[in-house]
Structure 1
Amino acid sequence: MNNEIFRFLQKIGVDSRFISIMDNWIVVNNLRYSRLSRTRQELLCHKFPELTIIRSKIFQRIATRASRNLKIDLKPRDKVAYIRDDSCASLTLRAVLEPYTRKYGIKIIEISPGGEVAHEDVDKVAMAWDLDYEVEGLLEKMLHGEKISLKSGVRYGDGYELIYPLINIPRSWIHSWTDSEDIPCRESVSEGISADMVGFLSTFIPDVREKMYSSALFLKENGL
């Protein structure tokens, strides 16, 4: 089915490197670069009436931020595994990875929850950790008087590399796009003092997550 959709997109002049083809959804990553005009969308929906076209602006922001990580982390023809579960983060991770099957020719390998990764079969494992998870981890270390370090600083598993495409994406963005499009998925909920502190600080400093993450990156890059 996806191959048939891909060929038709080529035929009508849509650049599939900037959309995600997922089951019965087409999710736009970058509207301008994809060239998916309303006229082309009508042609697509006429040919495949079962398709739902998602033009979410918030998802386009997610895809743009994630691309900053992926253009560094991915290499052509990488075999990339990820855990596919019912979470909104897993769904979003799949959506941002999918266009790279055409951009870089990567192969996406799905792992069920609790499944094992055969290191000879994959080059990289993509983790569905978001910015909130990272920042809460930083605060947890601070509260316990430990040296600050990023959870995403762990780069290698058992014979494969770990990558974190969503690590600079606020959780609220993930929930916002899935909620607005009525996409059924399980939302991640954090509990504990560190999560409460992030929520409290964000009422006074809206971009506190980004600031804390940037500061931790600076410390890491400068060996402090």
Structure 2
Amino acid sequence: MSRDLEPKFDHLWKEYTGVFMEMDDLTLARWMAQTLGQFAGRVWRLSHPLLLTYELAARAAHDRQIWLKGMGIVPADYIPAECCRAPLFPVLSRDVAEVGLVCKHCGEACVHPEDLPVEMKSSLIQWAEKYEKVHAVAHWEEDGIKLPHDYDRQLESAAIKAEKYLLENGDKLALDLLGYYPAVAWEDQDECLAVRPEDLCVK
């Protein structure tokens, strides 16, 4: 899932990516293939340090078209994503009903809504619609909705519900998706509602 960063953070992100940009194509491909093997069989928070590191490598690999060059030996469970031909590693986000599952390598849709697993499509879309109603509270003012006198209380209530729904995202839906994909990442924060990864504790 691609990140929209403020200029100062984007500059820092590019600096972090430098270690992977300095690798030759084969070394980068081998590192990524080995790490994909570590990802297999599990669901991963987007905030996990290893996943964040992999995202840096994915940016470098995408810019240099590592996967199109056929570099590295990809773990057998992974198939090429239609969006960029990188190994299919989907991200489950709150936008699943609108855009589907997002590619961890290029940030585009790798599984469109109409192509979601049939057995899970209904539950995924229902979850996203339920979450959108909660998330929308943070945008009432910019959407032209007059804020009620108890808006702060409603915003706090929405944040609490968002924590519950995001946990459901990681603890249930993402796990169920493992039946269809070798590894799945899930969105574990909502900056608009000030929900942080540390606010979510998956048991």
TM-score, normalization by structure 1: 0.27
Higher relative contact order (CA 8 A, sep 6+): 2
- Structure in which a larger fraction of residues adopt helix: 2
TM-score, normalization by structure 2: 0.29
- Structure in which a larger fraction of residues adopt strand: 1
